Amino acid sequence: MIDLKKLLKNPEYFKEACKKKNVEVDIDLLIEKKKKQNEIIKLRDELKHQLNIKSKTKPDPKEIEKLKEIKEKIKKLDEEIEKLEKEIFDIARKIPNPPFDWVPVGKNEEENVVIKEVGEKTKFDFEFQDYLTLAEKLDIIDVKRASKISGSRFGYLKGRAAILEFAIVKFVFDELTNIETIEKIIKENNLDLKIKEFMPIVPPVMIKPDIMWGLGYVDDGDIEVFKIPEDNLVLVGTAEHSIAPYFKDEILLEKDLPIRFIGFSTCFRREAGSYGKDVRGILRVHQFDKLEMVSFSLPEKSVEEHKFLLAIEEYLMQKLKIPYRVVHICTGDLGHPTAEKFDIEAWIPSENKYRETHSCSNTTDFQARRLNIKFKRKNKLEYVHILNATAFAIGRIIIAIIENYQTKEGRIKIPEALIKYTGFDII
């Protein structure tokens, strides 16, 4: 939720933000309703003041009738204030988090900006196979049997692929709970941040609908969630959905920030619509596992914290030696709650292109306002800034490993950084 006080002071800024994000909101109508509401509040408060004064005296029957009239007027004004509050809220919730001034302006994903490419694109001197063809030959991914059991867009990870998944989880947990690794990344990127590791967390995968609304993804239809109406719950689309609300309605202390979590969770997406080849295999599925970083930051440190999370994503990709590129997401492709976002895309040889494996977002105080997460600084309460970033979307990174590490003999080498966790160096 945006700050209404800021909007009233500078409506043009928020109009421009809506334009940049391709969102239509009648901000003038909101201002008109807010002014009307303020006038009614002033009138009601004046009547309450009169009532308060007169109630301290001994009224005669005539005055008692007048007091009853005043009370009735106050009741009607309260109803009008409440009605306007709902109307104002319904408009305000559609206003997206304004993008930072330096975010590239663009209409859609076609206008995202590639910042850099890291690592040489993998080339083979033999006829390589796409990940699913090779994985099925090695009997480590089974989507055919999964379709019999669960329908389309599901898959089994089997044998050494299943072991590889948990090797990736342990690798990430070890790296992000290592204070030396954190210090190294902060110093190498010249960041002025607190050297503090991440807290591992395994969060719930079902949350209340109002929590999903609080995250800001419902108002623009950004994420299509699975719903469980009988229990009034929804399944999370990413671990962030149940970690970001962790401190809902709480007041944190300035000295404790940043608070950083690294979560592992199964995630669920409806993924409505057709995506051609993406329907095949495990690239775009209804159920997947993910390692997600969430940080609760001081407002003045969130831009640097965002750079830090992106640097961690790059560090992890470099440890696995998978070629990738970093993309700065343009305004028209930003989600409703996001002020700035970067994606990392891994090189997929069989498609001869990069595919998204990570995102990294700064939602500033947008989610914190909706979730009512504040911190105390010198007896003053402020909203924290909330950031999220993918450590690994496990299915997608396994795809990238299979594609980039296959051998002439039709095997898959294990990235060196993961061998101590798998206990084997080839599949």
228 and 345 in one domain? yes
313 and 211 in one domain? yes
Task: Write out pLDDT tens, residues 261-304.
Answer: 999 999 998 875 555 556 677 788 888 999 999 999 999 999 99
Do residues 113 and 330 touch, judged by C-beta distance below 8 A? yes
pLDDT score for 283:
81
Task: Write out pLDDT tens, residues 99-111.
Answer: 999 999 999 999 9
User: In this structure, what DSSP letter does residue 110 have?
Assistant: G
- CA gap 221, 243 in Å, rounded: 20
Residue 101 lies in a domain: no
Do residues 215 and 368 touch, judged by C-beta distance below 8 A? no
Do residues 344 and 317 touch, judged by C-beta distance below 8 A? yes
pLDDT score for 400:
96
pLDDT score for 222:
52
In this predicted structure, the answer to whether residue 64 has a pLDDT above a threshold of 90 is no
Token pair belonging to 157 = 């990870």
Of the candidates 397, 277, 340, the one whose C-alpha atom is nearest the C-alpha of residue 103 is: 340
160 and 21 in one domain? no
In this structure, the number of other CB atoms found within 10 A of the CB of residue 89 comes to 13
pTM of the model: 0.91
Residue 102 lies in a domain: no
Backbone angles phi, psi at 357, to 5 degrees: -125, -20
Side-chain-side CA neighbours of residue 305 (13 Å): 29
Residue 254 lies in a domain: yes
306 and 175 in one domain? yes
User: In this structure, what DSSP letter does residue 369 have?
Assistant: H
Of 64, 92, 120, the residue that ends a domain is 92
Containing 115, the helix (H) or strand (E) segment is strand 113-118
178 and 52 in one domain? no
- Of residues 129 and 314, which shows the higher confidence score? 314
Do residues 155 and 141 touch, judged by C-beta distance below 8 A? yes
- CA gap 49, 289 in Å, rounded: 59
Residue 194 backbone zone (phi > 0: left; psi -120 to 50: alpha; other: beta)? beta
Interval 339-365 mean pLDDT = 96
120 and 86 in one domain? no
Of 62, 92, 122, the residue that ends a domain is 92
Task: Indicate which CATH number applies to the domain containing 161.
Answer: 3.30.930.10
86 and 113 in one domain? no
401 and 290 in one domain? yes
Task: Write out pLDDT tens, residues 202-214.
Answer: 999 999 999 998 8
Binned at pLDDT 50, 70 and 90, residue 373 comes out as very high
Residues belonging to the active site: 269, 284, 356, 359, 396
Positive or negative, the CA dihedral 13, 19, 20, 22 is positive
Least confident of 33-37, 45-49, 218-222, 342-346: 218-222
Residue 99 lies in a domain: no
121 and 60 in one domain? no
Task: Indicate which CATH number applies to the domain containing 62.
Answer: 1.10.287.40
DSSP letter string, 214-262: HHT-TTTT-S---EEGGGTEEE-SSTHHHHTTTTTT-EEEGGG--EEEE
Looking at every residue in the chain, the average pLDDT score rounds to 92
Strand order in the sheet with 227-228: 206-207, 233-235, 227-228
Of the candidates 197, 200, 201, 199, the one whose C-alpha atom is nearest the C-alpha of residue 182 is: 197
Domain of 13 in residue numbering reads as: 4-92
Of 92, 126, 142, the residue that ends a domain is 92
Residue 104 lies in a domain: no
Task: Write out pLDDT tens, residues 294-306.
Answer: 999 999 999 999 9
pLDDT score for 26:
94
Token pair belonging to 95 = 């206003």
Residue 268 lies in a domain: yes
Interval 138-155 mean pLDDT = 89
Burial degree of 375 (CB within 10 A; 0-12, 13-18, 19+): buried
Of the candidates 300, 378, 418, 335, the one whose C-alpha atom is nearest the C-alpha of residue 103 is: 335
Find tokens 């975010």 and name the residue.
103
202 and 273 in one domain? yes
179 and 124 in one domain? yes
| Helix/strand/coil for 289 | strand
- The total number of structural domains that make up the chain: 2
pLDDT score for 279:
61
Residue 304 lies in a domain: yes
Binned at pLDDT 50, 70 and 90, residue 175 comes out as very high
User: In this structure, what DSSP letter does residue 299 have?
Assistant: G
CA dihedral 66, 70, 71, 72 (to 10 degrees): 100
29 and 126 in one domain? no
pLDDT score for 332:
94
Residue 208 lies in a domain: yes
